[in-house]
Structure 1
Amino acid sequence: MSEVYAPRGWGKVAETAGAWLLALIWIAPLAYAVWTAFHPSEFSTRFELFAPLTLDNFKRAWEAAPFARYFLNTFLLVTGVLACQLVLCTLAAFAFARYEFPGATVVFALVLAQLMIMPDVLIVENYKTMSRLGVLDSIPAIGLPYVASAFGIFLLRQTFKMVPKELDDAARVEGASPMQVLWRVYVPLGRPVYIAYGLVSVSYHWNNFLWPLIVTNSVESRPLTVGLQVFSSTDQGIDWAIICAATLMTSAPLLIGFLLFQRQFVQSFMRAGIK
């Protein structure tokens, strides 16, 4: 009978110390951003326990750039891309998980091969494609290269393969079509995985910078990440208080979303067999 590994003694101490060290490394930049954003600019390089608090940095950051437009563009981008990904990935994952057809293994291997290709490698070709389509400098130009996701197909396929086939048979005995089986049996059972994948997709496209910077030129189509660069290109120098305030406004929705759905996020990957 195999025993579960459990560190003891100095091993446990080292593991705990390593975890705390990683946590401190991760939280240090966030703590600095929070401190700087809520204090006057002169406290961005020094710490005082009773330094005065202020919300003026957030007001100045909001007025310095069209954040309302940037938020709208980013929201339209991430929701549009996620909706397309969920539909396409669900259909592809269901086909790979429950149907046998000639070349299925080869096609799925090609899908997995896409996971090894960095998106930055395809920037030139994607730009040429968007130019031919005539959609440059628009939100669709940012999202079109990402409407299908190899990672999403793989994750949902692993989830669908864990669903007992007896549920298929029971649903079809009741007269359900294959599409009804998918949307009424598989999709509800995969809800935690959909939540986890949604967080991954939204966070990636919310934070993506290089591709939106290349493919857009105007405020009307640029997302938040590209809009933030306005604070680092001023003639008066860099004001870290405003930059940190703008960064917190940009990242707050992602932090809140992860805190709300962190349990589903972890459990979904455990059920899918991904470590």
Structure 2
Amino acid sequence: MKSEQHLAWNEPGRLDTAAAWLLALLWILPLAYAVWTAFHPTEYATRFALAAPLTLDNFRRAWEAAPFARYFLNTALLVAMILAAQLVLATLAAYAFARFTFPGRGLAFSLVLVQLMITPDLLLVENYRTMSQLGTVDTLLAIGLPYFASAFAIFLLRQTFMGIPKELDEAARVEGAGPLQVLWRVYVPLAKPVYTAFALVSVSFHWNNFLWPLIVTNSVNARPLTVGLQVFSSVDQGVDWSVITAATLMTAAPLLVAFLLFQRQFVQSFMRAGIK
């Protein structure tokens, strides 16, 4: 009997479920602490009490301490600008790699793959020099320009386009469609799940990106939300955890709400796109 129970517990399905619950618990604990701290007075930030009074004052103080409206606008514009540029450039590049034959195609695609192995942090100095020479430092363009060409998007779309039957190209060309019309009317609609999956990755990454925006911006006019959170951590004044967790929740709220509302579409998009 014990051996049967032991074997049943070691079934892959149960082990996977237990691991998933453990990871979910590890993920939810910091979020639960942030929610508790944000909705309670500062004196309850480091101790738990069931009778602790609820308050929204921390959110009011956080909103007044920094120009959050400007930060939200900057972040939304930045994310939209980067995503639009990535989708346009990656679509054209992936279509060329998948369906056109030209000298150096293999070498060019190999260089694209090499970019996947280079972390953005290694290019901070050179990117800053480039932005300085272009005169775009302390602008949204300076934050987004190094990310306009996405090697990951090119690779993902190229693999998707190569899986589309060439007979569809021929049928569209018989109808008089040109290369760009074939791309727009045939390839793009069939790759919608991949576009959705990549959009989720891109928006999440650039909404939370911190180091490069911190380096290349100097004023409120160009700072996104992640950099704006610095105002709440001061060595001289100390850190008010209730306020900083309230500010952090306001920063993360759009992504959390979007995930909760569209989690089924998120999972389906990743499954159809083959992203693991």
The TM-score with structure 1 as length reference comes to 0.93
Cα distance in 2 between the residues matched to 1:103 and 1:269: 32
Cα distance in 1 between the residues matched to 2:223 and 2:57: 25
Given that residues 192 and 265 in structure 1 are in contact (C-alpha distance below 8 angstroms), is that contact kept between their aligned partners in structure 2? no
Secondary structure in 1 aligned to 2:86?
helix
Cα distance in 2 between the residues matched to 1:122 and 1:273: 29
**Aligned equivalent of 1:107:** 108
Given that residues 197 and 273 in structure 2 are in contact (C-alpha distance below 8 angstroms), is that contact kept between their aligned partners in structure 1? no
Taking only the aligned residue pairs, the percentage that are identical comes to 76
Cα shift at 1:245: 0.6
1:161 and 2:162 correspond: yes
Q: 1:36 to 1:206 in 2, by over 3 A?
A: same
Given that residues 71 and 225 in structure 2 are in contact (C-alpha distance below 8 angstroms), is that contact kept between their aligned partners in structure 1? yes
* Greater shift in the superposed pair: 176-185 or 8-17: 8-17
Secondary structure in 1 aligned to 2:55?
coil
The TM-score with structure 2 as length reference comes to 0.92
**Aligned equivalent of 2:120:** 119
**Aligned equivalent of 1:10:** 9
Q: 1:105 to 1:87 in 2, by over 3 A?
A: same
Cα shift at 1:14: 3.1
Cα distance in 1 between the residues matched to 2:247 and 2:155: 36
Cα shift at 1:65: 0.3
Given that residues 82 and 202 in structure 1 are in contact (C-alpha distance below 8 angstroms), is that contact kept between their aligned partners in structure 2? yes
Given that residues 199 and 258 in structure 1 are in contact (C-alpha distance below 8 angstroms), is that contact kept between their aligned partners in structure 2? no
Q: 1:266 to 1:112 in 2, by over 3 A?
A: farther
Any gaps of 5 or more consecutive residues in structure 1?
1-7
Cα shift at 1:81: 0.8
**Aligned equivalent of 1:98:** 99
**Aligned equivalent of 1:58:** 59
Q: 1:95 to 1:259 in 2, by over 3 A?
A: farther
Number of equivalent positions: 268
* Greater shift in the superposed pair: 36-45 or 148-157: 36-45
Cα distance in 2 between the residues matched to 1:98 and 1:260: 37
**Aligned equivalent of 2:130:** 129
What are the superposed Cα offsets for residues 78-125 of structure 1, whole Å, 9 maximum, x if unpaired?
111111111000000111111222221221111011000010000010
**Aligned equivalent of 2:244:** 243
**Aligned equivalent of 1:185:** 186
Q: Aligned Cα RMSD in Å?
A: 1.5
